[in-house]
Amino acid sequence: MTNGQKDTLFILVKSLSKSEKRQFKLYVGRLGGNTDSKFLALFNLMDKMSEYDEQVILKSGIVKKQQLSNLKAHLYKQVLVSLRLNPTHQNVRFQIREQLDFATILYHKGLYKQSLKMLDRAKNIAIDNEEKNMAYEIVELEKVIETQYITRSIENRADELSVQAKELSMQNVIASKLSNLSLQLYGIMLKTGYVKSDEESQVITKYFYDRIPEYDIEKLGFREKLWLYKAHLWYSFLVQDFLGCYKYSNKWVNLFYKNPNMISLNPVFFLKGNNYLLESMFLIKHRTKFRETVEKLEETLAWEKFPKNDNVEALSFLYIYNNKLNLHFLEGRFAEGEYLVEDILTGLEAHKNRIDAHHVMVFYYKIACLYFGMGENKQCITYLKKIIDNRTLKMREDLLCFSRVLSLVAHYEAGMDYHLDVQLRSTYKFLIKMNDLHEVQKEMIKFLRRLGDIYPHEIKKEFIKLHKELKKYENHPYEKRAFLYLDILSWLESRIENRPIAEIIKEKSEELIR
């Protein structure tokens, strides 16, 4: 049996909606001879399968084993052709490419004037919609036609096309340099993570400013500004300048709201910009603006013209629910957020082929934090166990680290201390193996090592001692991120003051907006 999760054709067939399946069958049946074709029979069989099983296909008699690979490839192509014809998957880019294809056909038939007229119309659409790579391609074809056939349609045509090609080329070069820089910074983030010292910060700063191209902001179009803000955003994330993150993610999102037609044309960039904006506000604890941004995003997603496709729906689910959880964390309203858990689990199942395993684990961690804030420690432990027991997924070390630490704290809170010594040793060994331990993590290791030897009547004194040590890192430029994964300070305060952690966090949240 082949793993259905890895069979690309099976995943594609299962991703189709009822209307897309109906359209595919109509597309195949447009010629009478196709109604009994092997690839349609294979499609119908795979549509009925709950899991991909090659043996079931071979036993059906549709195809022999040596022909199966070719038949699957043919079916895959036909499904894509059918989807391409579906109006719901078409947008301005499809229209431009279609006009360019038609113009090329007319050119090859020697109908130059008709071809140029169609190219000019397609070029204007491309420029209006910031599709400058396609606009440049169109201009280049216009130049080819003009050099082979003197149309005399417009005076100084050669000069006009040359100037237009030069302007588009310059804009494309700037956009390319900015997008390359953005991608390189993202690669550094994945490889080394956030800067951990002034020296690393200086290296990244030099790297960024050595590579950012010269530009005149007044001459930049939508696309160039988008990449400019994105490059600045990644630089700000890397150096942990969270106010800078807020500034440039806000510029990114406002750029879309000032150009609403770009939202439907670039929904993924719009969604990602909003997610980065919300993440930035979470990092700086901008609670009021956070709620407003989530509500505005949901309103925009409800627009009739907002694209509805599988990728957009999966990303919308991911970003909306992730940030709804963050909102409850910011406000200290843990119990009120419990309703989200069922919606999240349902959504994860619905989008299981489009949301990677790492993001699933992040959801589990946040659900665990929600239950911890509610005082439901056994539920918290259940979701943390899903992360800790996952041996096949290579996750960020910080997520694994704080999952283990929170699990220890939750076991302690739940009174489940009969295996605490074993857990302590396991967590201690894991933390020691981690690369580039932060000071917060080192202090946690010291505390964990002492925990087994502390008498019950001394525990409060130890909590106060740990709180004092960790408090000095709360606003440290390279240590403060640790408290975003696990608000250990609020937990310590709740133990010292003998009050619920939700109450402590809620009070802090209210103080921030006074």
Tokens linked to 259 = 């150009």
More confident residue, 370 or 89: 370
One-letter identity of residue 194: Y
- CB-based contact 258:250 (threshold 8 Å): no
Cα 389 to chain centroid, rounded: 25
**Dist CA 184 CA 488 (whole Å):** 34
pLDDT exceeds 70 at position 435 = no
**Dist CA 465 CA 447 (whole Å):** 9
Please state at what angle helix 357-374 crosses helix 339-350, rounded to 10 degrees: 170
Residue with tokens 């991909």: 52
pLDDT tens digits, one per residue of 11-59: 899 888 888 898 888 888 775 555 557 888 899 999 999 889 889 888 8
pLDDT tens digits, one per residue of 267-276: 999 999 999 9
Q: Of 368, 390, 364, which Cα lies nearest the Cα of 380?
A: 368
Using DSSP, state whether 303 is helix, strand or coil. coil
The dihedral over CA atoms of 273, 278, 279, 282, expressed in degrees to the nearest 10, equals: 160
Please state at what angle helix 488-497 crosses helix 397-414, rounded to 10 degrees: 10
The CB-side HSE value for 480 (13 A sphere, CA atoms) comes to: 12
- What spatial distance separates the first Cα and last Cα of the chain, rounded to whole Å? 62
> What pLDDT score was predicted for residue 32?
57
Using DSSP, state whether 33 is helix, strand or coil. helix
**Dist CA 502 CA 332 (whole Å):** 5
Residue 62 binned pLDDT confidence (cut-offs 50, 70, 90): confident
Whole-number Cα distances in Å, 333 to 252, 279, 324, 374, 445: 30, 18, 11, 9, 30
pLDDT tens digits, one per residue of 324-343: 999 999 888 999 999 999 99
- CB-based contact 178:212 (threshold 8 Å): yes
The whole-number average pLDDT for the span 165-193 is 90
> What pLDDT score was predicted for residue 235?
96
Q: Of 145, 120, 135, which Cα lies nearest the Cα of 165?
A: 135
- CB-based contact 343:361 (threshold 8 Å): no
pLDDT tens digits, one per residue of 350-404: 998 788 888 999 999 999 999 999 999 999 999 999 998 887 766 666 788 888 8
> What pLDDT score was predicted for residue 212?
94
Residue with tokens 């109006």: 87
pLDDT tens digits, one per residue of 249-264: 999 999 999 999 999 8
> What pLDDT score was predicted for residue 233?
96
The whole-number average pLDDT for the span 81-110 is 86
How long a stretch of residues is the chain?
A: 514
**Dist CA 145 CA 387 (whole Å):** 61
Residue 512 binned pLDDT confidence (cut-offs 50, 70, 90): low
**Dist CA 329 CA 506 (whole Å):** 9
**Dist CA 367 CA 342 (whole Å):** 10
Q: Count Cβ atoms below 10 Å from residue 489 Cβ, excluding itself.
A: 19
Degrees, nearest 5: CA angle 89-93-96: 125
Cα 172 to chain centroid, rounded: 25
What pTM was computed for the model? 0.82
> What pLDDT score was predicted for residue 514?
42
> What pLDDT score was predicted for residue 3?
47
> What pLDDT score was predicted for residue 2?
45
- CB-based contact 75:9 (threshold 8 Å): yes
Residue 192 binned pLDDT confidence (cut-offs 50, 70, 90): confident
One-letter identity of residue 11: I
Using DSSP, state whether 171 is helix, strand or coil. helix
